Amino acid sequence: MKKIESELLIFYETAHAELASALEMLAASKLTDSPKQVFGYFMHAKDEYNHARSFFKMLSMRGKRASIETARNYRFTSPSLITKGYISDKGFLIDTMKLKDFIAFVYTNELLAKSSFENILTLVGNTTEEGKRISDIMRDELRHHGMAKKHFLNHYPALQPWQLMLYRTRETISNKGRKIYDANLKFLDRLLTPLYRAMAYIAGTIAKKLNLNEFKRDGKNLMNIPTNSIL
Amino acid sequence: MFIGVTGYNHESSAALVDKNGVLVDFYREESLSRIKGDKSFPKRSIKKLLDTNKIRIKDIERVAFYERPLSAFLHIIKEASMHMPKSLPLLTHQFRNFNRSSVSCYLDFAKFFKGLESKLIYSDHHLSHTLTALPYSNSKKDICSVVIDGFGDRSTASISQVVDPTEINELWECPYPVSLGLFYSSITDYLGFAINEGEYKVMGLASFGDSNSKSAKLVRGLMDWDTTSNKIISDMSFFDYHLSTSNSFSSKLEELLGPARNPFVQLIQGDSDFQRCADIARGAQDLTIYLLGKIFTHAHKITNSRRFLFSGGVSMNSASIDSLAQLPFVDEIIIPPSPGDSGCAIGAAFYCYIKSNYYSDLKISKPSLFPSRKEVRNDEYLTEQIISNEFSVLERDEYDAFLNAAELIKAGEVIGTVLSCSETGPRALGNRSLICDAKNKEAVKNLNTVIKNRSPYRPTAPAMKYEIAQKYYKLRPEISECYKSMGATCKCLENNLSLDFPTTHVDGTARIQIVENNSSLDKLLSILQPMGIDILANSSLNVSGDPTCFDLVDGLMVCSRTKLRYLLTDLGLLKRKT
Ligand SMILES: [Fe+2]
Ligand SMILES: [Fe+2]
Ligand SMILES: [Fe+2]
């Protein structure tokens, strides 16, 4: 059971990540103003959608075998793309980044995606159906990486490949940083939960005494309630 | 100009009403972000309202948020606080996420649209629902509004008397946590479907169930109407939605009905667990119909009204509307095309309009079923490479493209549409649809399974002109408006051919759409009828789990990701290569 749970987590998170990149690419396709790039991002989004579908399928295969209680925890709903941080609540990357940074981001992340799939490949085994599909996906990511590189150098011919390397190093570090940050957050969370609970307990004790009868609108004209009241 | 906004707790959206009381534009955030059920602050929708209509923040007179944020927050806290320590995780979650709840909408306005925050006002949640429904009624006076949802900002159901748009008196409410909407969602969750998405599956599944079965009767007994106090009563120990962030039902419900379903296991007719689940769904549907009848009867008693507005998430239960229409005191029921919370932005925007024109002559126009503004993008130029690489253009001229599409439909093909403006609500009415000949079993099956991977419990909706619908279905004049936005199901006429249509459900009902004059489907049916096709099967254009397509790029994407081959667009009729 433990094994299934850890696998569920991996496929759950990966499916999120792939669907998020599909949406990022689709957004880029809608925001860019050259038909060639519209097409490029469109095809990239289509690949990512297909990747996401494959991972959802792998997730579902494992979900079926898990206990109902466990399975319920790994049920996907789209808004978690935002709450889990796969898509920023500030907007899509193409909205918030400079184009140059965006292309460089794609360039480096495709490679990082590929390397993270290597681990999943070990998990499911090279020769299985799933393994074959993951190998295909890895090839896609490598192709995306190559395209982004070409795109970047076409767009900014003055930039040298070593500058892209710089981007890549920066992104790799920040990615590692993100993981450490994430681990720290989880640790802090565990540490702080009792404190939060204690605070919630106190606040709850106060809330118990709240008299919400004032909110009663019986017989009142709803159009006459003050417009600036948040109560 | 006036803006209405929803978000945070339920799907977010934004609407724009002008100084003449006309709904000019409306967007659901999920259409733009492509995140199904997106509840985040609707920054994309508001930006699109401003950009598409070329208005600046200073042109906006007022912005209304659709509920009173602190009220919603406090009601949840207060209820949870009565059940400590069991509810501590929920309380902790609420306090920790205080800054991400609707309480922060003022700050979000200030962050994303500097200047709008100073124009922000608040409407009551159920009032926003009422004001969303009201514009769709021909007369805006002397009508009773029934709102039933999961939870608003105070109550979960309410009855008000609309004297006129400036005087809307609340006369009855069902206080949180007793909630017909949350009950239905809990059963949805128990049956392994996603809350806010799977309710229509429960509704469809119910038709396979037996009202006299043990499971149905047990579910039917979970809530009741108390005739002396005129209140909905419920044994809350079967539910956890008011105590927990992760569980909507309690272990006691599982003791009563058996184990909940694993959400990953598809429920298929013929499975060992299928009948039990269908019976449970039947019980939930029976209870809903029963309580709706009681609420409407009470509404009539206290308002004397024979005309009703009905809105809130529960009014999307289209299978219960037909029985409401048969109540002896009902002359008319109006359900807006987007009766859930995302539609409330429309009501909130009208709230601003009414508040700003309180003493002048109010003109509230009936909104179009397709209120979103047409894209200003140059699609022809921008998508030229996608189209030239992946598609071939069969026909560019509009009339010929429709003619060509009609011929394909006649030949049994499924066609996707991305035409003109997008629909208001969750149901595709022809502009963002997948359509085929509704009497062609193969075509409908192809649409449902090969292209759509649609849930098998609810057949696709049939769309037709009014005079055709009369030939096949038992139409009720009291709810004739609802048929235009697929808001109500109806029965097939006895011994009628329609009982055999692939769009008819096992219980002999269909969720029909009567097409609006001059709409895309109306035009298509005018060409098809002489060819012998008078009904189209109509489903939303999307891959399951995704929001309905919004723009041409979305449509092209669905075509590329599925087996759909033809797309009827404003640029002409396209055919996918290979
Ligand atoms: Fe990918
Ligand atoms: Fe990729
Ligand atoms: Fe609501």
CA atoms of A143 and B549, how far apart (whole Å): 28
* Chain B CB within 8 Å of residue A72 CB: yes
Q: Is the pTM of this model over 0.90?
A: yes
- Contact (CB, 8 A) for B370 and B338: no
Ligand closest to Cα of A109 equals: 2
State the DSSP H helix or E strand holding residue B122, giving kind and residue range, or none if neither. Answer: strand B120-122
* Chain A CB within 8 Å of residue B148 CB: no
Show the 3-state SS of B129-148.
HHHHHHHHCCCCCCEEEEEE
- ipTM given for this complex: 0.94
Please identify every residue whose CB atom is under 5 Å from ligand 1, which is an ion: A 18, 48, 51
Question: What's residue B127's pLDDT?
Answer: 97
Bond prior to B85 in cis (omega within 30° of 0): yes
Ligand closest to Cα of B339 equals: 3
Question: What's residue B547's pLDDT?
Answer: 96
Torsion angles phi and psi, residue B439, rounded to 5: -100, -5
State the DSSP H helix or E strand holding residue B222, giving kind and residue range, or none if neither. Answer: none
**Token pair for residue B507?**
């219980």
**B175 C-alpha to center of ligand 3: Å?**
14
In the block, residue with structure tokens 């009766």: B339
Question: What's residue A103's pLDDT?
Answer: 83
Going residue by residue through chain A, which has 231 residues, state the pLDDT in tens, using 9 for 90 and above: 678 888 999 999 999 999 999 999 999 999 998 999 999 999 999 999 999 999 999 999 999 999 999 999 999 999 999 988 889 888 999 988 888 788 888 877 887 777 788 888 988 888 899 999 999 999 998 888 888 888 877 777 766 667 667 777 776 676 665 565 566 666 767 777 777 788 778 877 877 777 777 778 888 999 998 888 877
Q: What is the CATH number of domain A2-159?
A: 1.20.1260
Question: What's residue A204's pLDDT?
Answer: 78
Q: Minimal Cα–Cα distance from A16 to chain B, Å?
A: 12
**B144 C-alpha to center of ligand 3: Å?**
17
In the block, residue with structure tokens 């069969």: B394
Return the DSSP state at B548.
P
Q: Which B residues in the span 320-359 are in contact with A, Cβ-Cβ below 8 Å?
A: 354-355
* Bridge partners (DSSP) listed for residue B231: B226
Count CB neighbours of A5 within 10 A: 15
**B80 C-alpha to center of ligand 2: Å?**
44
Q: Which domains does chain B have, with CATH numbers?
A: 2-65+68-122+340-356 (3.30.420.40), 180-334 (3.30.420.40), 379-576 (3.90.870.20)
Residue B164: how many CA atoms within 13 Å on its side-chain side?
Answer: 9
- Contact (CB, 8 A) for B68 and B122: yes
**Per-domain boundaries in chain A:** 2-159
Torsion angles phi and psi, residue B235, rounded to 5: -85, 100
| Chain B environment of A89 (Cβ under 8 Å) | 40-41
| Torsional class of B135: left (φ above 0), alpha (ψ -120 to 50), beta (otherwise) | alpha
Ligand closest to Cα of A52 equals: 1
Of A71, A89, A223, the CB nearest to B168: A223
pLDDT 10s digits, B69-79: 888 888 888 88
Count CB neighbours of B203 within 10 A: 24
CA atoms of A20 and B311, how far apart (whole Å): 33
> Identity (one letter) of the amino acid at B487?
G
CA atoms of A61 and B22, how far apart (whole Å): 50
How many helices and strands in chain B, by DSSP H and E? 21, 23
Q: What is the largest CA-CA distance in chain B?
A: 70
pLDDT 10s digits, B273-315: 999 999 999 999 999 999 999 999 999 999 999 999 999 999 9
Cα B2 → chain centroid: 23
- Contact (CB, 8 A) for B451 and B435: no
CA distances from B517 to A18, B536, B574 (A): 42, 15, 25
Going residue by residue through chain B, which has 578 residues, state the pLDDT in tens, using 9 for 90 and above: 999 999 998 899 999 999 999 999 999 999 999 999 999 999 999 999 999 999 999 999 999 999 998 888 888 888 888 888 888 888 888 887 777 778 889 999 999 999 999 999 999 999 999 999 999 999 999 999 999 999 988 899 999 999 999 999 999 999 999 999 999 999 999 999 999 889 999 999 999 999 999 999 999 999 999 999 999 999 999 999 999 988 999 999 999 999 999 999 988 888 889 999 999 999 999 999 999 999 999 999 999 999 999 999 999 999 999 999 999 999 999 999 999 999 999 999 999 999 998 767 788 999 999 988 776 678 888 999 999 999 999 999 999 999 999 999 999 999 999 999 999 888 999 999 999 999 999 999 999 988 887 777 778 999 999 999 999 999 999 999 999 999 999 999 999 999 999 999 999 999 999 999 999 999 999 999 999 999 999 999 999 889 999 999 999 999 999 999 999 999 999 999 98
Of A39, A64, A200, the CB nearest to B262: A64
Question: Exposed, middle or buried, A95 (CB in 10 Å: 0-12/13-18/19+)?
Answer: middle
Torsion angles phi and psi, residue B513, rounded to 5: -125, 125
Q: Assign A84 to helix, strand or coil.
A: coil
**Token pair for residue B62?**
């007022």
Q: Minimal Cα–Cα distance from A72 to chain B, Å?
A: 7
**Token pair for residue B103?**
């309480």
Residue B488: how many CA atoms within 13 Å on its side-chain side?
Answer: 29
| Chain A environment of B147 (Cβ under 8 Å) | none
Question: Closest chain B residue to A207 measured between Cα atoms?
Answer: B78
Q: Minimal Cα–Cα distance from B284 to chain A, Å?
A: 21
The string over B394-431, giving b where at least 16 C-beta atoms fall within 10 Å of a residue's C-beta and e elsewhere, is: bbeeeeebbbbbbebbeeebbbbbbbbbbbbbbbbbbb
Q: Which B residues in the span 530-559 are in contact with A, Cβ-Cβ below 8 Å?
A: 543, 545, 551, 553-554, 556-557
DSSP-assigned letters across all residues of B497-540: GGGGSTTS-TTSEE--EEPPTTSHHHHHHHHHGGGT---EEEEE
* Chain B CB within 8 Å of residue A200 CB: yes
